[in-house]
Amino acid sequence: MKVGLFVPCYVDQFYPQVGIATLQLLEKFDVHVTYPMQQTCCGQPMANSGCEKDAVPSYHHFVDTFHAFDYIVAPSGSCTYHVRKHFDVIEQSEAVQHVRSNTLDIAEFLLDVLQVKSLATRFPHKVGLHQSCHGLRGLRLGKGSERVGTAYSKTEQLLQMVDGLEWISLDRQDECCGFGGTFAVSEAAVSAKMGKDRVADHLRNGAEVLTAGDMSCLMHLEGLIRRQKSGIKVMHLVEILNG
């Protein structure tokens, strides 16, 4: 099985430790991982800003870069969702369809492909989970509160495998943090207020660490935490799972 590691541009530039932790975590399960050096942005920021035509060359470059891999794995629900759902605007060649079908968030890959049942990891801290909108409602990594059915969360399922981790139940389990990509720029005041509400929920319920599967959400929340000097730590899911 050949796996291509896709590291989103904001992770590469601001949180490289998340990309490294993703690689190390996959290698612990004996996965042969390649990081294509020619990879660039998946095109999501331009598309979110209403300039999807300008993003099309990035779409084609992504497909050219990753089509030879069995799976493309990323530590990002939003980028994964964008590739799977928004690459429909280009011609649906066999390569494009393969890339769209086989680009997976790290949580999906661990549980659905590798069938991970346990982790040799210890993290003795109180952890609150922020479920990003793209991962939760786009990729269906969990059941949103607006849907009828049995509750589940793939991210939570992985965290529950970590020894010593104390799970924190939030008042509002799946509320948006307000980041929304360029929404945080165009509607800064609304975005900040939503983020403050999410941070307050974690603090109110005693979380020592705030985690998520999307570093974009965590970047937004971490900025608010720093300004408030709240003291809560922010970590990507893979940093906890990797140990």
pLDDT the model gives residue 49: 86
| Tens of each residue's pLDDT in the chain, 243 residues | 999 999 999 899 999 999 999 999 999 999 999 999 999 999 998 888 889 999 999 999 999 999 999 999 999 999 999 999 999 999 999 999 999 999 999 999 999 999 999 999 999 999 999 999 999 999 999 999 889 989 889 999 999 999 999 999 999 999 999 998 888 888 899 999 999 999 999 999 999 999 999 999 999 999 999 999 998 999 999 999 998
pLDDT the model gives residue 186: 86
Sketch out the chain's domains with CATH numbers. Answer: 2-113 (no CATH), 126-242 (3.40.50)
pLDDT the model gives residue 208: 98
Residue 78 CA to residue 135 CA, distance in Å, equals 6
pLDDT the model gives residue 181: 81
pLDDT the model gives residue 228: 94
pLDDT the model gives residue 243: 87
